[in-house]
Amino acid sequence: FPVELTDLVREHVREIPDFPAPGVLFRDITPLLADGPAFGALVRGLADKYRGHVDAVAGLESRGFILAAPLALELGVGMITVRKAGRLPGPVVGVDYALEYGTARMELRPDTVTEGQRVLIIDDVLATGGTGAAAVQLVERSGGEVVALAMLLELAALSGRTKLDGHRVDSVLIY
C-alpha cells in the first residue's frame, strides 16, 4: 500500500492501554471510521490495490464487515459474509479455531461463493491469524480462490502470518 495510506491509518488509530485486559494495548480504529474524508480515502486506497483482480470481497464478522461492504461497492463486486457460529441459516460450512483461551467458530454459506471466484478476504486486525486462517479454509472449501488477505493492522509480535503460509497478506500498518 502507498505510504500515504499507511500514514492516514496511523494518524487515526487510537491506542488504549489495558483494554480489554491489563497489559494489553488496544488499537482502536473507530476514530478512522468516524472521520468521513479519512474513511473514504481508506476505502479508495484499498480498492486501488485490487481493482480488476478480485470478483468478491469476504468480510469477517464483525469488524471486517465495516470495511468489506464499502470496499465491495467501490470495486463493483459482491460481498461475502463470513460469520460467527450460529448466525447464518444452513447449509453452512464451519471451521473451529483456537483462541488464546478456548475456541471459536466461523461459518460461511458455500452457495454465496462461485467456483473459481477470486476472493479478497478483509479484516481490521491480524493478530494470531486464527480468524484469517479459518476464513481462508471456508472460502477455499466453498470453491473460491483466495487472492489475498487485506488487513488494516497487523500485530507482528503475534506471528499471525505463519498461520497464513502460502497466502498473500497485505497489511496497511504493521506494529
Q: Is 141 in the site for ligand PRP (CB under 6 A)?
A: no
**Which run of H or of E encompasses 152?**
strand 145-154
The owner of cell 505463519 is 162
Q: Which of 27, 44, 61, 63 is catalytic?
A: 63
Q: Is 167 in the site for ligand PRP (CB under 6 A)?
A: no
Q: Is 6 in the site for ligand PRP (CB under 6 A)?
A: no
3-state secondary structure of 91: coil
127 binds, among Mg ion, ligand PRP, none (CB under 5 to 8 A by kind): ligand PRP
Q: Is 131 in the site for ligand PRP (CB under 6 A)?
A: yes
Residue 6, Cβ density class (10 Å: 0-12 exposed, 13-18 middle, ≥19 buried): middle
Contact window for ligand PRP (CB under 6 A) among 2-10, 32-40, 50-58, 124-132: 124-132
- Helices marked H in the chain — which ranges? 3-12, 30-34, 36-50, 63-75, 130-141
144 binds, among ligand PRP, Mg ion, none (CB under 5 to 8 A by kind): none
In the complex, minimum distance from the CB of residue 52 to ligand PRP, in angstroms, rounded to a whole number: 27
Whether 51 contacts 25, CB under 8 Å: no
C-alpha–C-alpha distance, residues 91 and 62, integer Å: 21
In the residue annotation, 100 being an active-site residue is answered as yes
Q: Which of 13, 27, 88, 128 binds ligand PRP (CB under 6 A)?
A: 128
In the complex, minimum distance from the CB of residue 11 to ligand PRP, in angstroms, rounded to a whole number: 20
- Tell which positions 14-73 bind Mg ion, by CB under 5 A: 63
Nearest 5°: phi and psi at 70? -65, -30
Q: By C-beta, is 51 or 168 nearer to ligand PRP?
A: 168
Torsion 61-64-67-72 (CA) sign:
negative
> Which residues of the chain form contacts with ligand PRP (CB under 6 A)?
60-64, 123-132, 160
